[in-house]
Chain A
């Protein structure tokens, strides 16, 4: 079974925190002011962060999970 999860291109992230503000699950956070990081256990793949990211560097990827 696969589910979607947010993935951040850390090399281009400005750590602005726009994604963190819209995440309904608190699954995305700014790691030490350097880049946005995703907690894969909390992410529900709603893609709100991807839509919000001003640099459009968050993509939704499939994550294989055991059924």
Chain B
């Protein structure tokens, strides 16, 4: 009988990833929690020069594995060569950072009153989905909610892209072109070359 590998606490972080998406359906301010997925990987790679976050703690990778392997939702085919190329990976990172900057810009416009709060989630940077049910009037400033809508749009878009490539190719295909993964790898490369020149 095959002996099951011992599970660690971090092997269950896919639950946190799933709950995060769920919470955004009820209150958009929970989207701010997603900042953890942006800051922790960078802090780890800057501090330790490793991709420990991707390798161990990424709940999103675990979620794709669960859907693709356990639930057998993946075709398990190889991804096309262009998708794993450095050009695509760095290009996608640049595109992602540009869209992230635009989202920050929109937040600034709401902050200084130039634009009103837009209660929509933009999926795949194109489709505007009304999301007003997740907005509840709070004492939080409007820009805080605007940022949350923008951030949740990014998180939902990346999950949708990840699910599409999980189904079409191998379960963790997203990990290959994940902008955070590419960024942390670049940090590790930079740290290593800095160490070599010392």
Contact = CB atoms under 8 A, between A and B. Distances in A.
Interface in B58-111: 61, 65, 78-79, 84-86, 89
Given A54-B170, A56-B78, A17 B176 contact: no
B171 interface: yes
Contacts of A17: 51, 54-56
Nearest to A24: B5
B34 interface: no
Interface in A1-33: 11-12, 14-18, 20-21, 30, 32-33
A46 to B, nearest CB: 13
A32 B55 contact: no
B55 A20 contact: yes
Nearest to B177: A14
Q: What size tier do the contact residues of chain A reach?
A: 10 to 19
Query: Which 8 pairs from chain A and chain B are nearest by CB?
Result: A33-B188, A17-B55, A16-B175, A56-B78, A33-B51, A55-B84, A54-B172, A54-B170
Interface of A: 11-12, 14-18, 20-21, 30, 32-34, 52-57
18 contacts: A14-B185, A15-B188, A16-B51, A16-B175, A16-B176, A17-B51, A17-B54, A21-B55, A32-B49, A33-B45, A33-B49, A54-B79, A54-B171, A55-B79, A55-B176, A56-B78, A56-B84, A57-B84
Given A14-B84, A33-B52, 18 more contacts: A14-B176, A14-B181, A14-B185, A16-B54, A17-B56, A18-B175, A30-B55, A33-B45, A33-B49, A33-B188, A34-B188, A52-B170, A54-B171, A54-B172, A54-B173, A55-B79, A55-B173, A56-B170
Interface of B: 45, 49-52, 54-56, 61, 65, 78-79, 84-86, 89, 169-178, 181-182, 184-185, 187-189, 191-192
